[in-house]
Amino acid sequence: MVSVRVEDVWMIFGKVTALQGVNLEVKEGEMVTLLGPSGCGKTTLLRVVSGLYKPTRGKVFFDSEDVTEKNPWERNVGLVFQDYALWPHMTVFDNIAYGLKLRKVPASEIKERVREVAELLRIEDLLDRYPHQLSGGQQQRVALARAIVINPSVLLLDEPLSNLDAKIRINVRTEIRKLQKELKITSIYVTHDQEEALVISDRIAVMNQGVIEQVGTPLEVYYNPRTLFVADFVGQVNIVGGKIIGIDETQGIVVVDSEIGEIRVAAHQNLREGEEVYLVFRPEMVEVSKTPLRGSADSTVFEGVVDAVQFLGNLLRVDVIVGGKKLRVEVHNPLSREWLLPQEKIFVVVPAANVRVLK
């Protein structure tokens, strides 16, 4: 196992700056996901780590070794691409064995290692088939087998599940995570899918316009976003602007005059009266009631009107208009609750501790 360290990496293509002073460290055996929208630089960063791109400026280290100028095959990285990149004229066995043959591994050892990894990924019955005879999920397993059979120091996966349908994607991502933990391979995973990143990662690096805006565990990134972009990109969120009009230091409460009315929030950081702030809270972290409720020292109640209701099986996603602004609320286990209807008056309870304050 090795660690990976990226130091002040810039990548410039003509007039386009794809990476702007990126710093990232991946610990031994860790799975770190690069998460962000299309064009944010995540695939470019992965290719810099792999050696497919040489950075315009900056360095890449594997452990303490500077590998910035080394080619991909000199770095011993395993690569899994979005389109699988399987040789159509080769059998599954030969596709998996390809990297071993390039490394001039003896034939007897190749056979043994291919069989081992095929059994690990449950594709041992497919070794004599060709790629066109496989399903998308099977092709992805073959691509993964080809990447890990060389015993890579680092495993790099670029949107590996984007071509699979939803149900298969869930199954394969579970297998990838289980395999990565079992083999303890230092791994970097690229995706634009927030749910995928939350499920599969030890830590997530959220990227936007060539920079990393936040690195943290899935829980940290989801519940404690450091920027508005991270809050908005990772999961559903309500963002409400306002100004601080009072601070109660004894109770650790800040009072904000917001777009939806006066609201009490927990003082998570140093804040000053008169500051313009944004209040961030997740749809599942507020409560709704048809019965009038009163606020308390640690929560605020708003009256609103149901704008739309979406039934998603295990939950109701409810849009509520409060003070002219649309808020999103999630009601879990909806069959145990009285059903909500559009145009119905409703009360929204926002606990102070569930609101994140961003400047």
Distance (Å, whole) CA 332 – CA 315: 4
Fold observed for domain 238-358 = OB fold (Dihydrolipoamide Acetyltransferase, E2P) (2.40.50)
Distance (Å, whole) CA 208 – CA 228: 11
Q: pTM of this prediction?
A: 0.92
Q: Which helix (H) or strand (E) holds 341?
A: none
**Is pLDDT at 332 greater than 70 in this prediction?**
yes
The reported pLDDT for the residue numbered 350 is 96
* Chain Cα centroid distance, residue 126: 32
pLDDT bin (cut points 50, 70, 90) of residue 252 is confident
Rg, the chain, Cα only: 25
Considering only residues 171 and 44, tell me which one the structure prediction assigns the higher pLDDT.
44
- What are the domain boundaries of the chain? 4-233, 238-358
Distance (Å, whole) CA 262 – CA 163: 46
* Chain Cα centroid distance, residue 4: 19
Identify each DSSP E strand in 16-160 by its residue range. 16-26, 31-35, 57-62, 65-66, 77-80, 154-158
Q: Could you identify the residue written with the tokens 């994607």?
A: 169
**Is pLDDT at 147 greater than 90 in this prediction?**
yes
Across 239-260, average pLDDT: 93
Angle made by CA atoms 251, 253, 256, in degrees to the nearest 5: 155
Please tell me what DSSP assigns to residue 226: S
**Is pLDDT at 281 greater than 70 in this prediction?**
yes
Q: Which two tokens stand for residue 250?
A: 């004894």
**Is pLDDT at 353 greater than 80 in this prediction?**
yes
**Is pLDDT at 334 greater than 90 in this prediction?**
no
List CB contacts of 125: < 8 A, sequence separation 6 or more: none
Across 83-102, average pLDDT: 93
Of 230, 217, 349, residue with least CA distance to 283: 349
The reported pLDDT for the residue numbered 166 is 83
**Is pLDDT at 336 greater than 70 in this prediction?**
no
**Is pLDDT at 102 greater than 70 in this prediction?**
yes
**Is pLDDT at 229 greater than 80 in this prediction?**
yes
Of 257, 291, 299, residue with least CA distance to 276: 257
The reported pLDDT for the residue numbered 172 is 85
Class of domain 4-233: alpha beta
The reported pLDDT for the residue numbered 85 is 87
Across 289-314, average pLDDT: 89
Across 292-319, average pLDDT: 89
